[in-house]
Amino acid sequence: MHFDRRHFLALTAGLAALPLTARLAAAEEMFAQFRFFVPANPGGGWDQTARTMEQVLRQTGLIGTAQVTNVGGAGGIVGLPQFINQWKGQGDGLMIGGLVMVGAIIANKAPVNLSMTTPIARLTGEAEVIVVPKESPFQTLADLIAALKADTAAVSWAGGSAGGTDHITAGLVAQAAGADPTKVAYVAYSGGGEAQAAILGNQVSCGISGWGEFSEQVAAGNMRALGISSGTRVAGIDVPTFKEQGVDVEFFNWRGVFAPPEISADDEAKLVALLDAMVASDAWKAECEKRGWTQIYLKGDEFAASLESEIARTEAILKTLGLA
């Protein structure tokens, strides 16, 4: 990771010395125009993150105009080469990614990986939730587990990319239930909207993703949430955990942002300073609370080191589940 600490400290110290309004103005001057690259179709967690960031950054005056580009497919593997090659050296934009992409890269043995980008920051974490359509015969997680034990392959799951967080969680649930995780009938979709349509259309037995992708449908009564992957109940989310229902699985998805390769140290420092201001804003805190996102902000070198650990951990899990 090419990071000049001297440039970053000088920039952030100068911004911190200014009143808030002046800091916002300074940030706006740095990014009068800004771009977001989402390596997924509209409607999913990465797309929600990008559009929420755009809303907050514009609302707080941290950026001027903004553009969101969606290139979906295979957990980000389709879009990632485009971001690496076509955005190289351009310091006015960020790609949204996270644990899903880490898993997809490993499971698909992709020729590109996140080490070819410039890791900027981890932003949020979110628990996974299992849902069923309202007409489903599965009233509880115990009902779903019983069906998995009886015929694992007969229970179909809709989720994100193969090898991603949703797929991993489904495999861990099957494994904890005593079923063969390699026989899980997982149907991968490149966007949250497509997965939702499959669930609502009763094309699959159940769905799995981050809470934010299903919360509106659950609230409207179109879906029923059977369980959530957090260690303890999440405030504001009336869904029992897997663990309290006898399924010993705890898993947490995370999302972060990455800059293109070969950007300058000054541009990298500006991006980190922009995110510092965003995560400290009341508008961002309010959006995270509303969407059930836990702030787990980690930036710069610390995020890069954490990413290396996540890659190793995810590879080990995927091998255990027969997915890598």
**11-48 tens-digit pLDDT:** 444 444 444 444 444 444 469 999 999 999 888 889 99
Question: With pLDDT > 90 as the criterion, what percentage of the chain qualifies?
Answer: 73
Sign of the alpha-carbon torsion through 156, 158, 163, 165: negative
Phi, psi of 300, rounded to the nearest 5 degrees: 60, -135
Q: Is 117 a residue whose pLDDT tops 70?
A: yes
Q: Predicted confidence band at 87 (pLDDT cuts at 50, 70, 90)?
A: very high
Between residues 323 and 226, the one the model is more confident about = 226
Rounded to the nearest 10 degrees, the angle between the axes of helix 5-16 and helix 265-280 is 40
* pLDDT, mean of residues 149-172: 93
How many whole angstroms from its chain centre is CA 145? 26
How many whole angstroms from its chain centre is CA 32? 26
Phi, psi of 9, rounded to the nearest 5 degrees: -65, -40
The pLDDT, as a whole number, for residue 220 is 97
The pLDDT, as a whole number, for residue 129 is 97
Q: What would you report as the CA-atom Rg of the chain, rounded to the nearest whole angstrom?
A: 20
In order of their start, the domains of the chain are 5-125+254-320 (3.40.190.150), 126-245 (3.40.190.10)
d(CA 289, CA 256) in angstroms, rounded, equals 17
Between residues 136 and 163, the one the model is more confident about = 136
